[in-house]
Structure 1
Amino acid sequence: MSRQVVRSSKFRHVFGQPAKADQCYEDVRVSQTTWDSGFCAVNPKFVALICEASGGGAFLVLPLGKTGRVDKNVPTVCGHTAPVLDIAWCPHNDNVIASGSEDCTVMVWEIPDGGLVLPMREPVVTLEGHTKRVGIIAWHPTAQNVLLSAGCDNVILVWDVGTGAAVLTLGADVHPDTIYSVDWSRDGALICTSCRDKRVRLIEPRKGTVVAEKDRPHEGTRPVRAVFVSDGKILTTGFSRMSERQVALWDTKQLEEPLSLQELDTSSGVLLPFFDPDTNIVYLCGKGDSSIRYFEITSEAPFLHYLSMFSSKESQRGMGYMPKRGLEVNKCEIARFYKLHERKCEPIAMTVPRKSDLFQEDLYPPTAGPDAALTAEEWLGGRDAGPLLISLKDGYVPSKSRELRVNRGLDTGRRKTAPEASGTPSSDVVSRLEEEMRKLQATVQELQKRLDRLEETVLAK
């Protein structure tokens, strides 16, 4: 009689833990736009989410620790003239975020430490070049100030944010139809795209050449997503001919047949994949689902191993994924998601159960730090480099000098959009003004609460 052997893995018992009510962000009006992006972006300082806005497009940026009920008059980033479709934090500066919108523009914003005290309408730089709405934003993982955008004009533009110029264009000859997803390789040498023409392509963006492509990785007609995973592989999510959701793993050198193909369920929501290169775990979050599935990728057959599923009662409108340096390593947290409900953002921690309080080296190998490995010029000149790694043994503490150095790279973009003021106030004056603004805002919020209470009292009578 044969006994079934259970594969041993330190991630077999990973469990998801939703945050308590007071650690959520309550009363936020999440965007109702029917676009298949995550609608949420997070980093160790801020959580940003695309919200409903009258007469334009806006997104909310909150300091990570500012949980609880969000005041209805909280200031937003509101410079777009049409709905915002995608947002992404710069991996090399936790204060810089880019947004793509139906108004055909990409805007790059610099969020002050502590969050917004007034609505932000002026971006650091506006990137104009698309002729239709911009639905995908992706920063280069290792080169400073390099940003990719993909629009419904079937064009991919790569920008040097420092100069505000589009430095590379992949035109409609590469993608003849709507682009569903774009993902950078870990060293930023290649991009992987999925398109409505049912093809997944590997592209060298600097040469504009398609290195490899796969026709119909999934037989169904609904959107496909593709991301790079470890060891020269890509992972795709899509639908079968019978509309069952599927996940597949492919070797980029041999795209004829998948290394692994698994059918999941018959739900209709597009699966958003999030890959963690440190643990080789991929998380699948479906739009409209109430679950997160996770799989471990290994270098030997069967390559893709189902681990478990986190389920909750309410469905998700979108999902944000925290970079590894923003996690609580002393709690063995290996991933954290920010799940968007209709009117709430709920953090969900993925944890490996361990008894020891000591730092778990095997769970936290050196991970991508916030320093860029290359300048934009070096990458455009043909150089590639993997991310500069940092240890999380003592936790991650952002350094001030890093922020300033990165910000200078954005100054050229600022000069392109606005002439230099002749008398620039000192940092002390700016700090004092910001403090006064915070106090004024606190007063306004307190008065608003009193008004709300009075209205309730009047209505009750």
Structure 2
Amino acid sequence: MSRKVVRSSKFRHVFGQALKTDQCYDDIRISQMTWDSNFCSVNPKFVAMIVDASGGGAFMVLPMSKTGRIDMSYPTVCGHTGPVLDIEFCPHNDNIIASGSEDCSVMIWEIPDGGLTSPLTEPVIKLEGHSKRVGILSWHPTAHNVLLSAGCDNVLILWNVARGEAVVRMDSVHPDLIYSACWNRDGSQILTSCKDKTMRVLDPRKGTVLIEKEKPHDGSRPTRAVFVSDGKILSTGFSRMSERQVALWDPNNFAEPLTLQELDTSSGVLLPFFDPDTGIVYLCGKGDSSIRYFEVTDEAPYVHYLSMYGSKESQKGMGYMPKRGLDVHKCEIARFYKLHERKCEPIVMTVPRKSDLFQDDLYPDTVGPEPSVEADEWFQGKDGQPVLISLKDGFVAPTKAKEFKVHKSLLKTSTSRPPLRRSSMPGPQPT
């Protein structure tokens, strides 16, 4: 009789735990919109959540320490005229957050260090270029002040935020609604999934399709995709029988997935969060009450199920803390901010270890807040690798954050603008 050999992994016993009630953020009216974005963005300073607002769109930004019951009159960021659909903090400045809305605009906001004392209605800058609602935002991981936005007009725009201008506009690549869009680790490629059942890897500066995969999942419900280690791609979607699936792809050979696993028959879209330091991918379903996590490795079956965190209440959204915001002394390897109807609940993922010493095998050098290239350099073709930091003594925020400057003199002036790069049919583009 052959015994099944259990694969050894230091993450086999990772467990999730919700923080106590007094460490949650309570009495917040989370947005009722049915849009499939995270509805939450976090960093070591703040937690931001999209909330219900009368007469427009709003989101709330709370200092990390402001736990407990939040007063009804607590000020919000409320400059949009339509519901907010997505928010994302800038990875290079913890006080800067972008928001996309049904009012077709993208706005960039600066949050003061202690949080808001009065409602914030004036953005630092307003980016206009979409003709329908803007549902996806993603900051460039290594280039300072580069933002991606995707709208229901099937258009994807790359902005130079400091100049307030759209530099690349991809308006003929996607024939239908864009479900997800994200960068690879150094921001040299963009991965999108679309309602036309095609997953595409794009050259962001040329706006061209490098490679595409039709029908990564057979079902008609939304597909999500993220880059994981070694340039591979992990996608979540649905089978023809509406079973939820997770698949891993090698872009060099898109014919067949490296692995494809069926999970269950729930209807919620699975939002994937990948941690390149540990190789763990967390799948959080909108409307689920659980977070499943898997380890992505180089050997078959490539995506190994680790465990599941479950609770009674379903999640309306999910924020994911950057590695530098975790407590390394407690062997915390991930922290989620789960949105309920009326509250936000932190959930910590921990590797059980007895020693109090720094566990360097759990915490390789990780991405810090410093960008490696400026927007202008990046748009001109320069790539930058992530600037890594050690977490051995915990993350110490720089005393002075990288100042957010908008070049007012460059705004709205046609003379200083380079011509907008439009993408047309896939293929080499003159830039």
| TM bracket, shorter-chain basis | over 0.9
Higher-Rg structure is 1
Q: Displacement of 1:378 after TM fit?
A: 1.3
Counterparts in 2 of 1:373 and 1:220: CA distance versus 1, 3 Å: same
Output the amino acid matched with 1:294: Y
- 1: CA distance, partners of 2:104 / 2:408: 19
Question: Does 2:21 correspond to 1:27?
Answer: no
Counterparts in 2 of 1:82 and 1:413: CA distance versus 1, 3 Å: farther
The answer to whether the 8 A contact 2:165-2:411 is kept is no
Residue of structure 1 in register with 2:160 after alignment: 160
Question: Does 2:108 correspond to 1:108?
Answer: yes
1:377-409 Cα deviation digits (max 9, x unpaired) = 1111111122100000001111123x1x332xx
Q: Displacement of 1:414 after TM fit?
A: 9.2
Residue of structure 2 in register with 1:39 after alignment: 39
Output the amino acid matched with 1:59: F
Determine which structure has greater relative contact order: mean sequence separation of CA pairs < 8 Å that are 6+ residues apart, divided by chain length. Answer: 2
Residue of structure 2 in register with 1:81 after alignment: 81
Counterparts in 2 of 1:67 and 1:415: CA distance versus 1, 3 Å: farther
1:53-90 Cα deviation digits (max 9, x unpaired) = 00000000000010000000000000000000000000
How does 1:5-24 map onto structure 2 within 5 Å?
5-24=5-24
The answer to whether the 8 A contact 1:96-1:108 is kept is yes
- 2: CA distance, partners of 1:248 / 1:396: 34
Question: Does 2:179 correspond to 1:184?
Answer: no
Output the amino acid matched with 1:412: H
Among 399, 403, 406, which residue is 1:406 paired with? 403
Equivalent residue of 2:373, what SS?
Answer: coil
TM-score, normalization by structure 1: 0.88
Equivalent residue of 2:406, what SS?
Answer: helix
Structure 1: stretches of 5+ with no match in the other structure: 418-461
1:84-133 Cα deviation digits (max 9, x unpaired) = 00000000000000000000000000000000000000000000000000
The answer to whether the 8 A contact 2:76-2:119 is kept is yes
- 2: CA distance, partners of 1:154 / 1:209: 15
Q: Deviating runs (4+, > 3 A) in structure 1? A: 413-417
- 2: CA distance, partners of 1:406 / 1:374: 15
- 1: CA distance, partners of 2:6 / 2:319: 32
Give % identity. 71
Output the amino acid matched with 2:122: E
1:141-189 Cα deviation digits (max 9, x unpaired) = 0000000000000000000010000011111x20000000001010000
Aligned length: 412
The answer to whether the 8 A contact 2:161-2:406 is kept is no
Equivalent residue of 1:17, what SS?
Answer: strand
Equivalent residue of 2:377, what SS?
Answer: helix
- 2: CA distance, partners of 1:166 / 1:316: 34
CA RMSD of aligned residues (A): 1.0
Residue of structure 2 in register with 1:355 after alignment: 354
How does 1:153-232 map onto structure 2 within 5 Å?
153-171=153-171, 173-232=172-231
Structure 2: stretches of 5+ with no match in the other structure: 413-431
Output the amino acid matched with 1:20: K
Q: Displacement of 1:416 after TM fit?
A: 4.1
How does 1:370-449 map onto structure 2 within 5 Å?
370-401=369-400, 403=401, 405-407=402-404, 410-412=405-407, 416=411
The answer to whether the 8 A contact 1:124-1:413 is kept is no
Equivalent residue of 2:376, what SS?
Answer: helix
The answer to whether the 8 A contact 2:163-2:410 is kept is no
The answer to whether the 8 A contact 1:161-1:413 is kept is no
Output the amino acid matched with 1:84: V
The answer to whether the 8 A contact 1:92-1:406 is kept is no
- 2: CA distance, partners of 1:57 / 1:411: 24
Residue of structure 1 in register with 2:420 after alignment: none
Residue of structure 2 in register with 1:446 after alignment: none
Q: Displacement of 1:205 after TM fit?
A: 1.2
- 2: CA distance, partners of 1:414 / 1:241: 54
The answer to whether the 8 A contact 1:24-1:346 is kept is yes
Residue of structure 2 in register with 1:241 after alignment: 240
Output the amino acid matched with 2:232: K
- 2: CA distance, partners of 1:316 / 1:411: 36
Residue of structure 1 in register with 2:66 after alignment: 66
- 2: CA distance, partners of 1:328 / 1:260: 33
Output the amino acid matched with 2:403: V
Residue of structure 2 in register with 1:127 after alignment: 127
Question: Does 2:287 correspond to 1:288?
Answer: yes
Q: Displacement of 1:272 after TM fit?
A: 0.2
Equivalent residue of 2:378, what SS?
Answer: helix
Equivalent residue of 1:36, what SS?
Answer: coil
Residue of structure 2 in register with 1:439 after alignment: none
